[in-house]
Chain A
Amino acid sequence: MARFEVIAPVAERWDRLPRAVRAVALLALLVLLVILPHLKIPVLNTPDSDFATVLFYPVGIYVLVALGLNVVVGEAGLLDLGYVAFFAVGGYSMGLLGNRVHWPFFLILPVGIALSMLAGVILGGPTLRLRGDYLAIVTLGFGEIVHLVARNTDSIGGPRGVSPIPHPPNFNLFGYHVRFGILDPKPYYYLLLAMIVLTIVVVSNLKRSRVGRAWTAIREDEDAAELMGVPTFRFKLWAFAIGAGIGGAAGVMYTSKVISISPDNFIFQLSILFLAAVVLGGSGNIPGVILGAAVVAYLPERFRSFAQYRIMVFGAALVVMMIFRPQGLLPSRRRAKELLEPEPGGGMGTLGGETGVEMAPRPEAESAP
């Protein structure tokens, strides 16, 4: 209420701006992002690593991953605790197809995305009929399974992982020679930036379509959605697949730069950090999620000394956030309301006499005389 009114005017004012003004503002932002790795801003600088490198990983990668996870968690309302699995599928696609079959990066990227989506469908198919807590536990298990399989399958490198992994090929763009090497992180950054922009366009298009409406409807009242003609299972599966595909894309890009990967690059803790990014930033709101991911990824690099404690610090930060701003830094207006007004206006919410889960009455225990 009061807490969320602070942010609502900002979003509303943005909506009210003329189209042209918004376009110019977005363009300016994009230009800023393009020159960002060239800037040396003292307050922003990261002490132990090159700023441009940090912009690619962890910041950029986290942003892309969070955008994907947001489709699952923020849009469709499905809690996924094993999202790192899709990041891993993308990573291993890049690693194995690059190292063993020597496919070029620009072929592996779509293949990696497709394989991740397939993994999403394989996980979602049997589990998306579960709801809430059950789904969370199953996804958590899936994340662990993928990690363990990678660790214990010698044919894909076992605990040592895969190396070396080729870089994307160099090419000429408008006369510039683009070189993907270890020395210069900028080309990777630009590639990632392009991917992020594309993802934002695709996801926001979905949001403003019958698909996005279906996701919101499912999140808010799955039974009613189904009864209004929404094939809920199909749309949940799509959310899973799209989220997985984006996570997989992030995995491919990350791996294309790092030369070697091992199962320990894809641990459970990452799932939690990704989720923290989404929730912290504002589940369901694209700018919020981006901000959340950037914060979660950047702060430990900026304050290297606390990197060791970062999980603890995030834990504490999350607790503080949930107390003072449960809807996230830049919340979606809708999600903010769902959180802050748990009690609906006119008696919505109870199962009612209509769609109650089939429950047989227990035999009368205490038969009152």
Chain B
Amino acid sequence: MPPSPGPRLLELRAVTMQFGGVTALGEVDLHVDQGEIAGLIGPNGAGKTTVFNVVTGVFHPTAGEIEFDGKSIVGKKRYQVTQAGVARTFQNIRLFPDMTALENVMVGADAHHGTSVPGAMLRLPRHRSEERHGRARAAELLELMGIPHRAEETARNLPYGDQRRVEIARALATDPKLLLLDEPAAGFNPREKRSLSDLIRKVRDSGYTILLIEHDMGLVMNICDRISVLDFGRKIAEGVPAEIQADERVINAYLGVVADA
């Protein structure tokens, strides 16, 4: 799929993140354009998840600037970043384990609901309509993820793969402009990975922009329009999949034997 660069959605400029002596990110420049599926790859500990963490406000970068949709989001609270339109999934699944799949997704949908506490106490009309909307939206998203039959099951009882699907649905429910996926295919078998690729494309085609971390090269090379590569907190390459696959430094640092790519 040829990249058709839209306007800049996310831009990191010279972002540095230090933890004591560890430089997880060193002056990283990175951007995501509207409508693309951007990939972020690199060896273990290269700083990929840290990029997600500084963007979503989990960590405040030691230095550098982050702009989302034209506005700086450095220093914003986590929930404010979410409300501004960034949603994510987690590398180690972080669902609410004893809520049902549907309730988990409804929490995401609540991000844009405004029912006040008194409104909820008294079940005012706004509460009712938002509740109806949230439930319908959550059901719709579970359907999109292909797991409508899991709606009433407790999240912790779901097999790993379905937990990942619920996480994506929950993130989508916050109605993001940008969706950050952290290794969504981990724990999937090759066949499930393929249906996941289809799904990610489908999500993009329905209007979302995606930044994807993934170690499965089959999947990454297949669906990403553009890929950035991190190694020891530095960006070592950027380009379309074919360029990345042929890049000497990427092969040495990350891919290993060429044949394995």
Contacts and interface: CB of A to CB of B under 8 A. Distances in A.
Interface of A: 202, 205-206, 209-214, 216-217, 220-221, 223-232, 238, 242, 334-335, 337-338, 341, 344-350, 352-355, 358-361
Contact of B19 (A213, A346, A348, A361): A361
Report which residue of B79, B157, B170 has the largest number of chain A beta carbons within 10 angstroms of its beta carbon.
B79
A346 B160 contact: yes
B33 interface: no
A156 B52 CA distance: 55
A211 B174 CA distance: 16
Interface in B52-78: 52-53, 56, 58-59, 77-78
A209 B156 contact: no
Interface in B1-30: 19-22
B14 to A, nearest CB: 21
Given A209-B120, A337-B154, A358-B19, A220 B78 contact: no
Contacts of B122: 205
B130 A354 contact: no
A354 B160 contact: no
21 contacts: A214-B110, A217-B96, A220-B98, A221-B94, A221-B96, A221-B97, A224-B94, A224-B95, A228-B79, A228-B108, A228-B111, A334-B98, A338-B97, A346-B93, A346-B160, A349-B97, A352-B92, A353-B91, A354-B52, A354-B58, A358-B19
Interface string B96-108: 1111000100111
Given A213-B106, A232-B79, A348 B92 contact: yes
A220 B115 CA distance: 22
Given A205-B121, A210-B120, A227-B56, A348 B110 contact: no
A229 B99 contact: no
A220 B99 contact: yes
A307 B28 CA distance: 68
Interface stretch (B82-90, B193-201, B204-212, B224-232): B82-90
Nearest to A334: B98
Nearest to B130: A210
B34 interface: no
A213 B156 contact: no
B92 A341 contact: no
Nearest to A216: B99
Contacts of B49: 353-354
B91 A352 contact: yes
B97 A206 contact: no
B82 A220 contact: no
B192 to A, nearest CB: 14
Nearest to B157: A345
Nearest to A335: B98
Contacts of B160: 345-347
A238 B117 contact: yes
Given A348-B156, A361-B19, A354 B92 contact: yes
Interface in B182-199: 182, 187
B158 interface: yes
B110 A229 contact: yes
Contacts of B157: 345
Report which residue of B96, B99, B115, B174 has the largest number of chain A beta carbons within 10 angstroms of its beta carbon.
B96
B256 interface: no
Given A229-B174, A346-B187, A355-B53, 6 more contacts: A213-B106, A214-B107, A216-B96, A221-B96, A231-B79, A359-B19
B31 interface: no
B156 A227 contact: no
A212 B108 CA distance: 14
A166 B117 CA distance: 33
B20 to A, nearest CB: 3
Contacts of A220: 96-99
A224 B79 CA distance: 10
Contacts of B171: 228
A167 B71 CA distance: 60
Contact of B78 (A209, A226, A345): A226
Contacts of B91: 352-354
Contacts of B103: 213, 216
B98 A338 contact: yes
Contacts of A338: 97-98
Report which residue of A206, A242, A344 has the largest number of chain B beta carbons within 10 angstroms of its beta carbon.
A344
